[in-house]
Amino acid sequence: MLCSAPCDGPCFKPKGYDEKGDIQNWPEFDCANTPHWIGQRWEGYGYPPPSQQAWNDRYSARQYNGLDFMALYNTYMLNFPQEQTPFYNPDRPEPTATGHLLGEAKIEGPTTLCPGASGSYLLKKTNADPVTLQEITWESSSNISLSSTTNNPTTATALAGQSPSYIGARFKEQTQKQQFYNGVGQQTEGFYAYVGLPELQWIPPQSITIEDNCDFSYRKPIITEIPNFLIDLDVDPCLLQYQAEAIRPIGSPEILLPESAFSWAAVNNTNGWNMTGTGRLFDFGDVIPPPHHPCGTVTLTLQIATDCGNVVKSAVVDCTPCQNMGRQILITPNPANNQISVRITQGQTQDFASTDPNGVRIRIYPSGGGAYTLLDSYLYSNGQTFNTSSIPNGLYTVTATASDLPIIQTNLAIFR
């Protein structure tokens, strides 16, 4: 209902109000009287009948509030405080703190203009109704020149790189809204007429409309320089967590780039293990050896491909294993055959009960080295059994970790 409100506000003046003309019980309005928004909000027609009243008495006798936009808006905000965002018409761009409406969907044109490049930008109508765009005024950041500030479309040229950069437009949108009388859409009467033919033609009823004007202001962010990114590390050896993310510096506007634009490479400087990946988030745990093997450092390289050039960043990560906290893994039987029972203890005799809702992560690696995992499962209660029938004979390292359990390890022998 909020979306359907006329741009000129609730209609409460009947036709002829300014001329002090006669009025009816349900008057004809001279403004857009969208259903649900007129209610009883008009002035006039009191008691006694109009013919026995002075004009001022008649026009001041009925002044009801009807539906009020701000009252409904406040009701919406009180009922949906968790939204934390202003109400907006979903068919139109969302308001921003700058007082402009974002224009990615309404200002059509390239989102990137490298210095010296030009692009055509077209202002689109905001809704599907027949509309006319009037009084268009284009604007831009100081580093972008416009071929015209009034034509639609206009051509923009980036003179230099600058952040932030934008192209904006202010304009008036004119629509024709159907008039209503007592809640019924008004139409002209149908009639017969000669329309270039010797026989009469039936001209069907046409909707009676009135003009509604809306003012808009859009702004489309434009990338005009090679964007800066940083590598944000999320490393916790005790949780076997090794992740990196490409982020923008604090205070910098967000830039939308496809996941394929981010290319990663990780190299373990001790054992030479390496891997690659794409996307903003990169998990490089596959180059980290089991805890009992030396790790040293890992070098990360990030390359970001943009229309204005490539960004290359690097970081060196210390992957020293986590130290245990007096807890240990007890495995029975050991040597094992096709099944093992796992128990976590602390203080040699007391069972350790993890509070991690995901359980304790149990992993089995070859003791002779290698990045692959032969078993990766979770322990939810001490004494839980695990199937090891698929693991060949040999010596293995077993690790356990949880949010409240720094990584611990022990040895396991499989013999059949």
Q: pLDDT tens for residues 343-393?
A: 998 766 678 888 888 899 999 988 876 657 889 899 998 899 999 998 989
Lookup: tokens for 272:
């030479």
Among 160, 193, 225, the domain-final residue is 225
Q: Can you read off the two tokens belonging to residue 68? A: 């009020």
Domain that holds residue 206: 90-225
| Cis peptide upstream of residue 333 (ω within 30 degrees of 0) | yes
Q: Name the helix (H) or strand (E) containing 194.
A: strand 191-194
Count Cβ neighbours within 10 Å for each residue of 222-244 and write b for 16 or more, e otherwise. Answer: bbbbebebebeeebebbbbebeb
Instruction: Please identify, among 281, 298, 318, the residue that sits at the C-terminal boundary of a domain.
Output: 318
Structure tokens at 313: 């960043």
One domain, residues 120 and 80: no
Residue 74 pLDDT > 60:
yes
| CA–CA dist 39, 36 (Å, integer) | 6
Q: Identify the domain boundary among 87, 115, 147.
A: 87
The CATH number for 334's domain is: 2.60.40.10
Q: CA-CA distance, 50 to 37, in Å (whole number)?
A: 25
Same structural domain, 137 and 49: no
Higher-confidence residue: 32 or 111? 111
Indicate if the pLDDT at residue 21 is higher than 60: no
The total number of structural domains that make up the chain = 4
> Is residue 253 located within the same domain as residue 221?
no
Closest CA to 157 of 171, 140, 169, 172: 140
- Which of 11-15, 71-75, 84-88, 223-227 shows the highest mean pLDDT? 223-227
Residues 256 and 310 in one domain: yes
Could you tell me if 303 and 400 lie in one domain?
Answer: no
Distances (CA, A) of 135 to 6, 210, 311: 19, 19, 41
